[in-house]
Amino acid sequence: MPGVILIFISALFFPGIILRTKSIASGRKGPGIFQPLKDIAVLLRKGSVFSGTTGIIFQIAPVIALSTLVCASLLLPFANQRSLISFGGDFIFFAYLIGLGKFFSIIAALDTGSSFEGMGANREAFFSMLIEPAFFILMATFAMFTGHTSFSGIFNHFFLTGNDYVLIFSIIGIFLFTQIAMVENSRVPVDDPRTHLELTMIHEVMILDNSGFDKALIHITSYLKFAVYGSLMYNIIVPSGWNIFLHVILFLAVQLLFAVAIGLLESFRARNKMNKNPKYLLTISAIAWISFVIVLILTNKLTV
Amino acid sequence: MDQPSHFKLKNNYPAGGVREIPISGYDDFYSFVTDGLKDEARHCLAYYGIKTQDSLKLYCFLADDPSGNIEVAAYETGTLNPVLRSAADLFPQLSVFEREINENFGVVFEGHPWMKGVRFPHNRRDKSKTMENYPFYGIESEELHEVGVGPVHAGVIEPGHFRFICNGEKVLHLEIQLGYQHRGTEDLFLSKNTPLQRCILAESIAGDTAVGHSLAHTQLIESLTGLEPGEALQIERCVALEMERIAVHIGDTAALCGDVAYQLGQVVCEAIRTRVINTTQLWCGNRFGKGLIRSGGSNFPLSEETAAEIIKMTDFVDRQFSGITECIYSSPSVLARFEDIGTVTGTQARQIGAVGIAARTCGMARDVRKTHPFQYFRNFAVNPAILETGDVLARGMIRKLEVRESLRIIRELLEVWAGKDKDTGKPDYSYKLKPGAFSVSVVEGWRGEIVHSCETDAKGNLVHYKVKDPSVHNWMALALAVRSQEISDFPVCNKSFNLSYCGHDL
């Protein structure tokens, strides 16, 4: 339970910290850390406007996307406590919960009948499909490494295997989770959340028709998604046996560093050309494959 | 031929009499245009019609770059419903002019490849043709889809509709539909007949080219009145024009970086641009140089202090802008977005009569400051930068090179200025235009050549005023540039040209 609460708390500050980092990196004053929250408060008070072409799918999609993510956050363990829901292979459930939310936002975008949103939905589906192997292969690597198949099992035993190479997997995990989080959250280099150009957008263009309350839900979903990935990363950085209070502090520190890292990554590079994205995403999956092969060798399942 | 088929004049020289333009038959007129354009050193500056009682007079202005001459020929139709042979099928650069003449006067051009409206003005000939019932170019296919963008856009830009025909992410065809503004600028020049009103109107033709357009207007008026600006005044005008060029080029570099999500380049360039336009504000009270250029004199003569500020500004820009462009054009992630994107070939550019930076990035040495010099550029050598590749990277790089050249021009001009007699005089708002005369004035604005031309009647009143913004040609270059590109690269292609909507929708 404390893990879920901490995820919610860090989700509150995540977008603000990214924004602050980017403004400081570009030498601007920029908005305050709470500005995204204030924006959400404004949106929540507003009513939604629905286009005449949309149906029920468009109206329920934001709620479904948010609820799947809240469910997904219940699967994540914190410190040495078991997560609220835990069973063998729950990371597959986790991935498809997020996938379900994404599926609904994609068909909601198609529901609007706009040529822009169809284009965005098409890109989002394609790129999500390409990044999916990276997540599964990475989790399979961890499962193989620890001998457990649930999040709780994997993360509670991550540092207890007695394997000297644990740090390598920790580093690979941090790298891959950062990349996956950037893609899943439609950030640079795959997407650009700041752009106003519909033709280049991926995620932003899909929510062009959403307004008011629904838009607030969509924003909350994306903030929560960052915190969920931050939490995954935290679990492979900090050994689970440490003192619980230390854990709370370290958790918030890791989330803060993650947000700052994203802000810095976005400040100093341009985004990819659209047709380079598949290559970029497959490279991330390829790195996951390499780590998988390494773990096979280390656990003597594959002999060379 | 005993009689010459055309009349020659120089840019910004005293106006010619309307009667001096020989009126030829259409065959001669046609061959003047087509033979003239066969030489690639010539291009069409303007081609327009003037309606008289029961006839139509067509004028065509060709610019001959090597000699610096502007050649004019005229043809009188003798009827209000003429059917003429089109020259646009041979020379696509004439297409937009023939479309405009067709739209305004109903002249039928036989063999014209694509006769569509240009800007749907209120006084067009055929009122049944509206933007609402315009048939867009389409391709029937199950696999292709159309994407329409605008006329209302995200962000603060002007109205324009872009209709893409795409195969997946790839653009097969782009049709650019402008003409949403219906401002009637050219007619306003005739109805707003006090000199000050006209100056302000010229400044407002395109807000980002206030100095360029007001200079073109002022030159035109001065050539029709015989007012001769002093050398100090000429230098001040050139400095203002170059400052406008520097500011816009740096702003465009910022926008290019913004479009590819390269935040560092964007914010640094925006900050540099602010310094430049603030210096313009220090000089004349307006950041875009409005009010600075007036016929016959200046309300804001350059002072020693302002000149010193300008020199300081050039040092600042030189240092900062070369630093950040070094950063931008060596960053692999940025280069990957600019290189080989939105390529316009040299042949295409020549055919559509591209001007300004769009031409100079395709290997064409087309710079009015050099070929048809005006103001103090007549005594001062400009070295225009020429690039060959014609892609987004070239259009980014040329901005860097032109800023560097403009900084040099400003510094050297101000040195010359220091030794000149600085009495520029006050603007002359009580001028009388020469009767029965015509003139043409060409200025190299930051976007390319700006052409203003007009004609006066026997009493010295304006009977016709014509404006040509460089965007008129270059919009076609954008449509060609995005062919076979990804639709997601359209914004960065568009920004690399940064064309004017209002300059087109006069």
B147 touches chain A (CB under 8 A): yes
Contact B143, B166 (CB under 8 A): no
A contact test, residue of B143, B156, B333 with most A CBs within 10 A: B333
Coil vs helix vs strand at A233:
helix
* pLDDT in the model for residue A254: 94
ipTM rounded to 2 decimals = 0.86
Domain boundaries, chain A: 2-298
| Interface with chain B: mutation pick from A197, A264, A265, highest number of B CBs within 10 Å | A197
pLDDT digit string, tens, across residues A89-134: 999 999 999 999 999 999 999 999 888 898 899 999 999 999 999 9
The reported pLDDT for the residue numbered B1 is: 41
**Domain B7-110: CATH superfamily, name plus number:** NADH:ubiquinone oxidoreductase Nqo5 subunit (3.30.460.80)
CB contact under 8 Å between B487 and A199, yes or no, is: yes
Q: What is the pLDDT of residue B4?
A: 65
CA–CA distance, B462 with B460 (Å, rounded to integer): 7
Measured between CA atoms, the residue of chain A closest to residue B162 is A199
Q: Which residues, at least 6 apart from B267, have a Cβ–Cβ distance to it below 8 Å?
A: A26, A27, A28, B254
Q: Per-residue pLDDT tens for B250-270?
A: 999 999 999 999 999 999 999
Query: pTM for this structure?
Result: 0.91
What one-letter code names the amino acid at A30? G
Asked whether residue B2 carries a pLDDT value surpassing 50, the answer given is no
Q: In B, which residues are within 8 Å of A272 by CB distance?
A: 333, 336-337
pLDDT digits (tens, 9 = 90+) for B421-450: 888 888 888 888 888 888 899 999 999 999
Chain-chain contact of B336 with A196 (C-beta, under 8 angstroms): no
pLDDT of B346 above 80: yes
pLDDT at B194 over 90: no
CA distances for B185 relative to B198, B201, B220, B425, B431, angstroms: 10, 8, 16, 29, 22
Lowest mean pLDDT among A1-5, B240-244, B367-371: A1-5
Residues 6+ apart with CB under 8 A from A122: none
Q: Decide if A270 contacts B256 (C-beta within 8 A).
A: no
Cβ-based neighbour number of residue A5 at 10 Å? 11
Residue numbers in B near A189 (CB within 8 A): 261, 333
Residues of B in Cβ contact (< 8 Å) with A28: 267
**CATH, domain range B185-497:** 1.10.645.10
The pLDDT-based confidence of B172 (bands split at 50, 70, 90) is very high
pLDDT of residue B275: 95
The boundaries of every CATH 1.10.645.10 domain in chain B are 185-497
Report the gap between the CA of A42 and the closest CA in chain B (Å): 21
Q: Which of residues 183 through 242 in chain B touch A, CB cutoff 8 A?
A: none
Strand, helix or coil for residue B62: strand
Segment B202-224, tens digit of pLDDT: 999 998 999 999 999 999 999 88
Spatial CA neighbour of B57 closest among B95, B86, B24 = B24
Q: pLDDT above 70 covers what percent of chain B? A: 99
| Mutation to test the A interface, candidates B136, B253, B260, most A Cβ within 10 Å | B260
Whether B452 shows a pLDDT value over 50: the answer reads: yes
